[in-house]
Structure 1
Amino acid sequence: MPESWVNSAESLGADLHLELTGPGSRRAALIRALRDAVRSGRLAPGTRLPPYRSLAADLGLARNTVADAYAELVAEGWLSARQGSGTRVAPRAQPLTPARSPGARTPVSRPAHNLLQGQPDAASFPRTAWLAAARRALTAAPHDAFGPGDPRGRPELRRALADYLARTRGVRTDPERLVICSGFAHALRLLLPAVLPGPLAVESYGLPFHRRLLATAGIPTHPLALDEHGADPAQLASSTEPKAVLLTPAHQFPLGVPMHPQRRAEVINWARETGGYVLEDDYDGEFRYDRKPVGALQGLDPERVLHIGSVSKSLSPALRLGWMALPDRLVEAVLAAKGEREAWAGVTDQLTLAEFLTHGAYDRHIRRMRRRYRRRRDQLVDAVTAHAPHLTVTGIAAGLHAVLQLPDGSGEPDERAALRAARRQGLALDGLSAYHHPEATMPPRHGLVVGYATPSDSAFPGALEALCRALPPGE
């Protein structure tokens, strides 16, 4: 059995694992193991190795054996030794680049400008305020916060969210009916099919990722028609199949229209009459620019609407924090679906977000980002209007993206050509038809979905210039 060694805690070198195998003496095996570790890159240049005595004791070798092995590798140039600095991997010892197999992929170069939708400006994450909130939250946290907790999530966060959602979105809930999750996709996985078995009515435009998630869970989806008033619930009344509907009523994704008040009332009436449920995706409810924000649909009937939100657009998707405001009768079923603690969101981030909300830092961040994103939206609209007035810019009253609709009569080839032109300019963005439900009866529209939040302030002007160069010319 090959001998191995893992550096002990009291050793002065870095942890490493060595296997002494192959023919020859123990000294030769040690030299071979060290040389292979350096050659492969497992021991990076500058890594400090354990002292002779530590390595000899752990491997059961004579100290002189280790000293001789080190000396030979120093002489070969694999290692370097200096008085008072110990033995280290030589700076010039670089790992060999493995030969590329015939079927290996060539790395794809990253686009120069990221205009994909749904991503906030990562450079604007409020690091200083978040760090200050984390320090306050951890200092004040009770000891039980770091033990087994409530599957609903930390009570500090649920209380803060209940207050915030009531104040800013008109959500009617209490901390006991809020369940913390890691985002909207996690909420769907918890709800479907364990709590709501489906089938599910959805808008005829939406995220392909969500459709794939539902298909994997075995949930059939029935697309609802969309127009300038949002999703049309008339098809719900004429169908006996769907017992739940997924909507983006404040700002339809990706077309950007709000759901008309009459239709909001109609979908609530449908849910009450049939015993159905409405899943409300409030994905960017904070970012409305031109008029008062549209309140949450959940406020009309908290027992029939499941309000789902997250911080992925407002702060960062890296935080993996979201929430569900649930009807009382569904809470226990969701907690059962949530299961063991491995799927729960991290406690420290929950405590920090609670502090961030309670002391107003979240509101300040939202106001700052709302001004910044509105300025970018205006710059985008001005640039498109100047360079391509034949394109219609829609969905701009709220959110982090706009839709540049191609002229009437344009088809999928025109959209593909526009996307190819964008790629040539180093732009990453999506075509509108990619969001169209494949079973929708309404024909797909064609255009470009442009996210204006992701680039930094310094990079955004260059991204706009590249976009304008890629836009199709008018007739």
Structure 2
Amino acid sequence: MSRSNQSDTEGSKSPSGSDFLQLDVGQAPPGGRTEWLAGRLRAAIADGTLPVGSRLPASRVLAAELRVSRGLVTEAYQRLAETGQVSGRGRGGTVVVAAPPPAAAPSRAPERGGLVDALRAVPCRIDLSPGVPDLTAFPRTAWLQAERRVLASLTPADFGYGNPQGTPALREAVVGWLARNRGIRADPDEVVVVAGVAQALALLTHVLREKGVHRVAVEDPGSLGARQQLEYGRLETVPVPVDEAGLDVAALRASGAGAVLLTPAHQFPTGVVLDGERRRDLLGWAAAGGLVIEDDYDAEHRYDRAPVPALRALLPEGVCYAGSVSKLLAPALRLGWLLVPPRLRDAVTAAKRYADLGNPVLAQLVLARLMDSGELERHLRHVRRRHRRRRDAMLGAVAELLPGARVHGAAAGLHLMVTFDGAGFEDTDLASAALALGVKTHPLSWHRIRPGPPGLILGYAAGSTGEIEEGIAALATALSSVAAPAETGRKVFPERRQPPGGSRVVRG
């Protein structure tokens, strides 16, 4: 596309001129010029010709160049604004703010894991994806100060290859952190430093397969990413139902699996806590030879309930415990820890050695200093207050704008699960419609193995309260488009509207 006629007097990224998008109004069908123009602009946004952040020509300029009325161009721009793809910004012009999803985006195709990665790359106005922390809250000043102190204390020998199991300083700091925050008593020799929980699972899949374990039970619904990590390691995953008391241990026993992966403190995605009776039953299963892989997902982020002890604190010899700072600081750090029973420790350490020779030493030492100084706990208190405000904003918006929705898991974590019991639509269609309006979510069906009611998983940590409220409003619009009765095409669940008080909340 030629840019020879682009105006550069205002420093705009957008094209203008008679060859803008090489439009030829003669191609428009009779009486359909407005939709033709809107469609051409929509297609250019979708294929990246007009990227997010680019500015459309002023309506009067484009109208003159196409030799059409200004009202026709204004109406085409308005249609894109109504679907959330452009936004009028006064003197700043009309700016592209969101691209529609790829045709294959939220889908139930077998390659759903790749689609999750693809979804992360899709531009949007508001990101309500689960698992995204408040990246703006990263404690840059504290990290830099700790890094300077660490660098000042290092000797030349410290810049060599480190211990594949992790630096002694971080393993000791992790032991202290877990004792203070999760009630776990451990020895530094029990800790293996890993590149997040994903690598912890990768190491365990290798070790379990070598030891003859080929079937691992997983929660259903449960994390799609964790399940695919196990399957990538050539383990068979067996779904075990989750209800309001957590994992169904009777179904686990019947599954014949030799190990189980679960999130007992704050189940993903439902938010339920594994109750006392189920915990005792599970620990009995582990004591009889089963292996529990405990992903302590979101355990630090609690709002409306007292913390529950980690399973690792109750049965160290039967539980592999995995945690990280991805949701507390940032996923980009790729820092986590894995505690394994003595019978697996040498094998896991060897797998870590052959995987990457160990995590980068400098980042480990900086994290250790943040833990030992109390700075990490101060940061946790800060983000917990911020997250609670954002959770409350999302709860209020869902209650007001999504009547009939049922909210799960509000007591802790960084996301809510919203279900629409008895609804006659696919949640992938709802997620696609929301993405077309510039709002990212995860359809619940992505994280199911067996069928269940449609729903969404909505993260609230990454956006401001205003963005959250705007995002839920867009979801209400998307819901209207996919769930409206055929005879009217407008109302959403009119027969299921609740009395004042809005959506039902299950505080898990």
Fold similarity call, TM over 0.5 = yes
What pairs up with 1:186-265 in 2 under 5 angstroms?
186-196=199-209, 197-239=213-255, 241-265=256-280
* Shift in Å, 1:144: 3.6
Alignment TM-score, normalising by the size of structure 1 = 0.73
Distance (Å, rounded) in 1 between the aligned partners of 2:192 and 2:371 = 17
What pairs up with 1:47-196 in 2 under 5 angstroms?
106-107=47-48, 109=99, 110-196=123-209
SS of alignment partner, residue 133 of structure 1: helix
Mark the CA change 1:456 to 1:130 in structure 2 (over 3 Å): closer, same or farther.
farther
Q: Which amino acid in 2 is paired with 1:160?
A: A
Check if 1:444 corresponds to 2:460: no
Does the 8 Å CA contact 1:138/1:351 hold for their aligned counterparts?
no
Task: Report what 1:369 is aligned to.
Answer: 383
Does the 8 Å CA contact 1:251/1:285 hold for their aligned counterparts?
yes
What pairs up with 1:329-348 in 2 under 5 angstroms?
329-340=343-354, 342-348=356-362
Task: Report what 2:314 is aligned to.
Answer: 300
Mark the CA change 1:378 to 1:456 in structure 2 (over 3 Å): closer, same or farther.
closer
* Shift in Å, 1:308: 0.1
Task: Report what 2:500 is aligned to.
Answer: none
Match of 2:364 among 350, 360, 363: 350
Distance (Å, rounded) in 2 between the aligned partners of 1:341 and 1:214 = 16
Q: How many residues of Structure 1 are paired with residues of Structure 2 in the alignment?
A: 363
Q: Which structure has more helix as a fraction of its residues? A: 2
Superposed CA RMSD? 1.9
Kindly provide the CA deviation profile for residues 38-70 of structure 1, in whole angstroms up to 9, marking residues without a partner as x: xxxxxxxxxxxxxxxxxxxxxxxxxxxxxxxxx
* Shift in Å, 1:340: 3.9
What pairs up with 1:10-29 in 2 under 5 angstroms?
none
* Shift in Å, 1:141: 3.4
Identity among equivalent pairs (%): 44
Mark the CA change 1:141 to 1:200 in structure 2 (over 3 Å): closer, same or farther.
same
* Shift in Å, 1:346: 1.0
SS of alignment partner, residue 222 of structure 2: coil
Mark the CA change 1:456 to 1:381 in structure 2 (over 3 Å): closer, same or farther.
closer
Q: Which amino acid in 2 is paired with 1:261?
A: G
* Shift in Å, 1:418: 2.4
- Greater mean alpha carbon deviation, residues 255-264 or residues 335-344: 335-344
* Shift in Å, 1:306: 0.7
Kindly provide the CA deviation profile for residues 11-30 of structure 1, in whole angstroms up to 9, marking residues without a partner as x: xxxxxxxxxxxxxxxxxxxx
Distance (Å, rounded) in 1 between the aligned partners of 2:333 and 2:356 = 16
Does the 8 Å CA contact 2:222/2:269 hold for their aligned counterparts?
yes
* Shift in Å, 1:457: 6.0
Check if 1:317 corresponds to 2:325: no
Mark the CA change 1:222 to 1:139 in structure 2 (over 3 Å): closer, same or farther.
same
Mark the CA change 1:366 to 1:350 in structure 2 (over 3 Å): closer, same or farther.
same
SS of alignment partner, residue 367 of structure 2: helix
Does the 8 Å CA contact 2:131/2:415 hold for their aligned counterparts?
yes
Distance (Å, rounded) in 2 between the aligned partners of 1:342 and 1:354 = 20
Distance (Å, rounded) in 1 between the aligned partners of 2:388 and 2:278 = 28
Distance (Å, rounded) in 1 between the aligned partners of 2:397 and 2:466 = 17
* Shift in Å, 1:464: 4.2
Name which one, 1 or 2, has greater alpha-carbon Rg: 1
Runs of 5+ unmatched residues, structure 2:
1-45, 52-98, 100-122, 481-491, 495-508
